[in-house]
Structure 1
């Protein structure tokens, strides 16, 4: 079972509507829960198999203005860890893909104010990796029976830094994201050029 469905919501926590909170929780987290619940009885009868849950680096990076997305992806990581403990010794492999930026269609349905939308769109368009590369890495990690599939490879440094120096890591993430948002807001106000233009 591969639980891969995902949507995105951005904006400050108190600016996100209850409807958008329910929308993202239902898809990003509860969608994974229901997928796991459907798969477990089948895999138990078969004597083994794999459940592969797709999360995101957002689940540990906790960038500002992404509370809804971050929280649902962190929940997927925690759920996967719990399932790994519950299925230990049963032949059922639990893997969680913790992915960084790659080119995808995620921003097409993004619910967000203009500046946050521009940041997300800019990061995905500029990503150097494709969805095909992500899929290959995820399947390889599952075959290796890894619980955490952190990809692209350079994100493993961030993953470890978060655990070794969490406050330093979160400060750096906040500073980087804040600067990017400021640039997008300045652009929208006519103080800078290019960020909100459609790609050519």
Structure 2
């Protein structure tokens, strides 16, 4: 494992003005880091933790990423930690969700992460040190029905992270992927699209979750310190992940059952098709 260079850690966090991003920013500041929080707002958000710098960054825009690279070079002379956290929620049955919704979520959740890695990697290679942390989801590892677009983007982030973990290690660069289950955040506010039934179900799961963004951030920060390649943040996530790997028949039955319940909700009896 590589170690961070001496002095306060220099961290850039996308989606840093709300939800898990803001909780990570606050936690990093408490641990003595210098933090650049990036988000969509043109002006610094009023509730951004004191001590954090702020930069407008839309992860879909390469010119914004170029500006962020210039900022960290000029202000800090480098970067120790890149946290690709920005993302949106989406979900829907494959025959209901519009292709425009697919394009929107791929552009943010997958290509936004890829742009961040693409832009900052040359700087980290120059330094021969650094740590990239990509926030995916348990949905990147465990693929429930009626969430194909979201699952696909988060699985893509998992694959990207594993690939870069091998690819960048010779330069002393570590890569981690974060895979949290549902927790209380404002992610549901980004829902948009045609499958409103699935969005309502997703909103309920998010707003009634027992864990808070701060709870998840604390686990993530510990995982970052330990340079874990995969950071699972809760017991449910670990059970689902390892259940899929080591008890696949049980996992399949659970997913078939979930799909059957979904089908009944929309008036279709699936019994004759179940294994």
Mapped contact 2:181–2:236 kept (Cα < 8 A): no
Q: For 1:158-173, list aligned pairs within 5 A.
A: 158-173=240-255
2: CA distance, partners of 1:52 / 1:81: 11
CA-CA distance at 1:174 after TM superposition: 3.8
Q: Is the 8 A contact 2:184 2:206 kept in 1?
A: yes
Work out whether residues 134 and 176 of structure 2, in 8 Å CA contact, stay in contact via their aligned partners in 1: yes
SS of residue matched to 1:14: coil
Q: Which residue of structure 2 aligns with residue 42 of structure 1? A: 123
In the alignment of these two chains, the number of paired residues is 185
| Match 2:210 to one of 120, 128, 131 | 128
TM-score (norm 2): 0.63
Which residue of 2 is the match for residue 56 of structure 1?
137
The Cα RMSD (Å) is 1.8
Normalising by the residue count of structure 1, what TM-score does the alignment of the two structures yield? 0.85
Match of residue 200 from structure 2: 118
Q: Deviations over 1:57-85 (max 9, x none)?
A: 11122111100000000000000000001
The runs of 5 or more residues in structure 1 that have no matched partner are 187-200
CA offset digits 1:135-189 (Å, max 9, x no partner): 1211110110100001113311211111123343133034236536756x69xxx
**Is 2:247 the counterpart of 1:149?**
no
Deviation at 1:88, TM superposition (A): 2.0
Asked if the contact 2:136/2:177 (under 8 Å) is kept, the reply is yes
> Quick check: 1:39–1:51 contact (8 Å CA) kept in 2?
no
Q: Higher relative contact order by CA 8 Å / sep ≥ 6: 1 or 2? A: 1
SS of the aligned residue for 1:15 comes to: coil
2:91: which partner in 1?
10
| Structure 2 residues without counterparts, runs of 5 or longer | 1-81, 268-275
Contact 1:63/1:174, CA 8 A, preserved across alignment: no
Distance 2:259 2:211 in 1: 20
In structure 1, C-alpha distance between the alignment counterparts of 2:191 and 2:256, rounded to whole Å:
21
Q: 1:85 aligned to 2:149?
A: no
Q: Which one has a bigger Cα radius of gyration? A: 2
SS of the equivalent of 2:185 reads coil
| Contact 1:119-1:180 within 8 A present in 2 as well | no
